Amino acid sequence: MTEAKAIKPPTLPDAQTVTAVTHHTDRLFSFRCTRPASLRFRSGEFVMIGLMGAPDPKTGKQKPLLRAYSIASPSWDEELEFYSIKVPDGPLTSRLQHIQPGDEIILRPKPVGTLVHDALLPGKRIWFFATGTGFAPFASLLREPQTYQDYEEVIITHTCREVGELAYGAQIIESLKTDELLNEVIGEGFWKKIKYYPTTTREESPKMGRITDLMRTGEAFRDLGVTPICPQNDRAMICGNLAFNLELKEMLESYGLVEGANSDPQTYVVEKAFLD
């Protein structure tokens, strides 16, 4: 990880300064930046971030190139964290992957999103289902005290193609054990509420397969030592690629869960992962 020595004040409107960058694999990186004083958000929400585009050849004017990114840091953190894929020919991420501490990014301070506790009715267990960079909003929610205040059990599943792609999530989960705020607010040993279920689909690992298939056969429930999902006890949030979101949505509805929204809290919510 590279860190900024001294944070310079930003020069562009809506600009924030990058404070740290970590490359996890050749396809994935995360970075931290300053947080605008005006930005209030709920853990799990996303904002538009990006860089200035190239000047228009005719007018010479530059427009910002922005994409939706889930905030991976919790709402109480004084900085912001983001987790991103690197798409070699992606208009934004082909450039964003080269940012360094001290560089500026553009961040529109208007958070939105459905992966928030307010969109769910009270329940006993919460399931966070992620694929790939869809882990980002859960990196925020897993560091949010409300998650542990509201639920007796917190189950996070993360399906990736390769083992290296699980590293960011695994590090976040490991870091929870020594998280000062959570240990103080929820009590030591709070992390025993967490059940983590990482799986890979294209590289050998201790647990292979898509989470959807592992749930369909009952294997995931047996491995986790939990009862299958039911609308009385369970609440769920989904964030992954489109096919995954749709397949899991159908499965959850077959268990009796109902999709919720900020204006209509129900038993599960879904967000698409924001790819380039």
Q: Which residues bind ligand A2P (CB under 6 A)?
A: 131-132, 159-161, 201-202, 210, 212, 240-241, 243-244, 247
Q: Determine contact, residues 133/84, Cβ cutoff 8 Å.
A: yes
State the nearest-atom distance from the C-beta of 213 to ligand A2P, in Å.
7
State the nearest-atom distance from the C-beta of 240 to ligand A2P, in Å.
6
Smaller CB distance to ligand A2P: residue 153 or 247?
247
Smaller CB distance to ligand A2P: residue 32 or 249?
249
* Cα–Cα distances in angstroms (integers) from residue 138 to residues 60, 128, 196, 272, in the given order: 40, 7, 12, 13
Q: How far apart are the first and last CA of the chain?
A: 24
Question: How far apart, in whole angstroms, are the C-alpha atoms of residue 105 and residue 140?
Answer: 20
State the nearest-atom distance from the C-beta of 156 to ligand A2P, in Å.
15
State the nearest-atom distance from the C-beta of 226 to ligand A2P, in Å.
19
Residue showing tokens 């509201």: 150
Question: How far apart, in whole angstroms, are the C-alpha atoms of residue 8 and residue 4?
Answer: 9
State the nearest-atom distance from the C-beta of 54 to ligand A2P, in Å.
28
Question: How far apart, in whole angstroms, are the C-alpha atoms of residue 89 and residue 17?
Answer: 24
Smaller CB distance to ligand A2P: residue 4 or 85?
85
- Say how many residues make up the chain: 276
State the nearest-atom distance from the C-beta of 55 to ligand A2P, in Å.
33
Q: Determine contact, residues 49/106, Cβ cutoff 8 Å.
A: yes
Smaller CB distance to ligand A2P: residue 145 or 240?
240
Smaller CB distance to ligand A2P: residue 118 or 259?
259
Question: How far apart, in whole angstroms, are the C-alpha atoms of residue 88 and residue 83?
Answer: 16
Smaller CB distance to ligand A2P: residue 195 or 210?
210
Question: Which class for 177: exposed (0-12), middle (13-18), buried (19 or more C-beta within 10 A)?
Answer: middle
